Amino acid sequence: MDQTELLQQTCHVGGRWLAADDGSTRDVIDPATGEKVGSVPHFRTQETKRAIDAAAKAFPGWRDTPAARRGELMQKLADLMMEHREPLAILLTREMGKPLAESRGEIAGGVGYLRWFAEEGKRIYGDTIPSPWPERRLLVMKQPVGVVGAITPWNFPSSMIARKLGAALAAGCTMVVKPAPQTPFSALAIAVLAEKAGLPPGVLNVITGEAAEIGAAMIDHPQLRKITFTGSTAVGKQLASAATANMKRVSMELGGNAPFIVFDDADLDAAVEGAMIAKFRNTGQTCVCANRILVQDSVYDIFAQKLAAAVKELRVGNGFEEGVTQGPLVNSAALKKVEAHVADVRAHGGTVLLGGKPHSRGGLFYEPTVLTGVAADALIMREETFGPVAPLVRFHDEKEAIQLANATEYGLASYFYAHNLARVFRVMEQLEYGLVGVNTGMVTTEVAPFGGVKASGMGREGSKYGVEDYLDIKYCCLDLGH
């Protein structure tokens, strides 16, 4: 199958490919060129209910399929995704703009989650509990929560879905996925391949349309038992409060404001390398993005120079161009936010060491930027920038670094570079984050738990913990009589 066959412009419900009831659609635009990639149906409440009904109908069969068989089908989907890695990556770059090499990496990353969970499904163990009563036996079994609604963002259009889907399918859940409107085609392409892999109809449904109505329909439907959401904290809070009011399980992977701390005993070249990954991957549009770079006094100037030299080497352009490392921002609102953050740093006395303005290519491109002398009360210190801007903040000692790092409502990723072993442990333990990278700017893998604390959410994806979010615990007490 090539890229045009994978570009599916209808929704996948109960094994069928459907338009909206009223035929309405929304266009998807390539952010690098402004050209239309295609269009997708604009589903509303009724179509969403039918998709949940389809997932509910498929649930008993999928739940009762042995884990080993479920695993085989998941591995088959993973194989097909790897076989079609190139067209999937091309589709991803077209709809969201990231460099093609990053898109290829994202497809492989998502496949990693599917393969991990395909195996993990076989290890969903229960317990037997030593009984306080001689005549009774106490058992704990784990069962799938049921139909799951997944709502995902545009910044990782494929892997955000694969890591939810992997855990859900392994647990025996069926799913209705609503991808972001900017990037629906990567999600629909997964459904195309899932169908080809032999996943039974209704096990995976992918719908596009009116977010608020789809979210509300998921929350209202009695057979949808869990919402898993990745996106902004603002939307996550709304969904979580509505879902818990209806006693649905929730997993929330929300925004971040990652500190990246460089201590005076760090290997500065390694720290620059790590900062380049943590800050500029996906043009700074990752939830684990280094948003605040905190550097100790004595190494501040040299680190700033080294970082600026590395940032200067980045190449901005269309993700399909050879050698491009920085694509466009996703839309004009994202570009405006980046511009506002840089203007605010300047207004607070900060300096632009490199970049600091929209790129001369025009459109949605912004120059990779390094800012120095950033004030602790600048907007960029509190909010996710979600763009290619590295703000450098000076700190004096370890205590101040920890205080600055934790002075945010968020708690997803954090990073620090240091060598003193006692310091490494002290800092690791004191950072109020779900993820800590020590002497590395990249921590994500399917074998480790991913997720945040504080306003960055609840629940974990990946690893043995990831599957637990899709399971209910049932305690069974057997009285054997006398």
Instruction: Considering the complex, state which of residue 49 and residue 178 has its C-beta at the smaller distance from ligand NAP.
Output: 178
Instruction: Considering the complex, state which of residue 231 and residue 355 has its C-beta at the smaller distance from ligand NAP.
Output: 231
- Classify the C-alpha dihedral 280-281-286-287 as positive or negative: negative
Q: Which stretch binds ligand NAP (CB under 6 A): 108-116, 230-238, 398-406, 465-473?
A: 230-238
Q: Which of 37, 254, 276, 308 binds ligand NAP (CB under 6 A)?
A: 254
Supply the residues annotated as catalytic.
253, 287
Instruction: Considering the complex, state which of residue 8 and residue 456 has its C-beta at the smaller distance from ligand NAP.
Output: 456
Q: Residues 90, 96, 99, 103: what is their CA dihedral angle, to the nearest 10 degrees?
A: -60
Q: Which pair of structure tokens corresponds to residue 439?
A: 């002497």
Q: Which of 7, 192, 287, 370 binds ligand NAP (CB under 6 A)?
A: 287
Q: Which of 54, 92, 180, 261 binds ligand NAP (CB under 6 A)?
A: 180
User: How many whole angstroms separate alpha carbon 245 and alpha carbon 237?
Assistant: 12
Least separation, in Å, of the C-beta of 149 and ligand NAP? Answer: 9
Q: Which pair of structure tokens corresponds to residue 151?
A: 């709502």
Contact assessment for residue 246 and residue 224, using Cβ atoms and an 8 Å cutoff? no
Is 331 among the residues that bind ligand NAP (CB under 6 A)? no
> For residue 444, which phi and psi values (nearest 5 degrees)?
-70, 130
Q: Which of 31, 153, 317, 319 binds ligand NAP (CB under 6 A)?
A: 153
Residue labelled with tokens 């900017």: 182
User: How many whole angstroms separate alpha carbon 215 and alpha carbon 396?
Assistant: 46
- Amino acid (1-letter code) at residue 55: A
The 10 Å CB-count burial string (b at 16+, else e) for 279-303 is bbbbbbbbbbbbbbbbbbeebbeeb
> Which residues ranging from 190 to 229 are in contact with ligand NAP (CB under 6 A)?
211-212, 214-215
- Amino acid (1-letter code) at residue 95: E
Least separation, in Å, of the C-beta of 392 and ligand NAP? Answer: 21
Q: What would the x/- binding string for ligand NAP be over residues 74 to 93, using CB under 6 A?
A: --------------------
Q: Which pair of structure tokens corresponds to residue 136?
A: 């009774």
Q: Which of 238, 246, 439, 440 binds ligand NAP (CB under 6 A)?
A: 238
> Which residues ranging from 369 to 398 are in contact with ligand NAP (CB under 6 A)?
384
Least separation, in Å, of the C-beta of 236 and ligand NAP? Answer: 7
User: How many whole angstroms separate alpha carbon 113 and alpha carbon 125?
Assistant: 20
User: How many whole angstroms separate alpha carbon 29 and alpha carbon 442?
Assistant: 30
Q: Which stretch binds ligand NAP (CB under 6 A): 38-46, 67-75, 235-243, 359-367?
A: 235-243
Q: Find all residues with CB under 8 Å of 444, minimum gap 6, and list them.
A: 109, 288, 450, 462
Least separation, in Å, of the C-beta of 175 and ligand NAP? Answer: 15
Instruction: Considering the complex, state which of residue 135 and residue 409 has its C-beta at the smaller distance from ligand NAP.
Output: 409
Residue 220's nearest CA partner among 245, 201, 253 is: 245
- Amino acid (1-letter code) at residue 385: T
Please count the residues of this chain forming the interface with ligand NAP, following the rule CB under 6 A.
Answer: 28
Is 177 among the residues that bind ligand NAP (CB under 6 A)? no
Is 155 among the residues that bind ligand NAP (CB under 6 A)? yes
Is 255 among the residues that bind ligand NAP (CB under 6 A)? yes
Q: Which stretch binds ligand NAP (CB under 6 A): 87-95, 174-182, 304-312, 316-324?
A: 174-182
Least separation, in Å, of the C-beta of 218 and ligand NAP? Answer: 8
User: How many whole angstroms separate alpha carbon 307 and alpha carbon 318?
Assistant: 24
Contact assessment for residue 350 and residue 374, using Cβ atoms and an 8 Å cutoff? yes
Residue 390's nearest CA partner among 332, 319, 308, 315 is: 308
Is 235 among the residues that bind ligand NAP (CB under 6 A)? yes
Q: Which of 3, 131, 232, 305 binds ligand NAP (CB under 6 A)?
A: 232
Least separation, in Å, of the C-beta of 449 and ligand NAP? Answer: 12
Q: Which stretch binds ligand NAP (CB under 6 A): 62-70, 149-157, 335-343, 393-401?
A: 149-157
Least separation, in Å, of the C-beta of 227 and ligand NAP? Answer: 9
- Label each residue of 138-188 as H, E or C: EEEEEEECCEEEEECCCCCCCHHHHHHHHHHHHHCCEEEEECCCCCHHHHH
Least separation, in Å, of the C-beta of 414 and ligand NAP? Answer: 13
Least separation, in Å, of the C-beta of 413 and ligand NAP? Answer: 9
Q: Find all residues with CB under 8 Å of 158, minimum gap 6, and list them.
A: 88, 92, 106, 107, 110, 186, 187, 189, 190
Contact assessment for residue 51 and residue 205, using Cβ atoms and an 8 Å cutoff? yes
Instruction: Considering the complex, state which of residue 166 and residue 172 has its C-beta at the smaller distance from ligand NAP.
Output: 166
Instruction: Considering the complex, state which of residue 257 and residue 318 has its C-beta at the smaller distance from ligand NAP.
Output: 257
Residues that bind ligand NAP (CB under 6 A): 151-156, 178, 180-181, 211-212, 214-215, 230-232, 235, 238-239, 253-256, 287, 384, 412, 452, 457
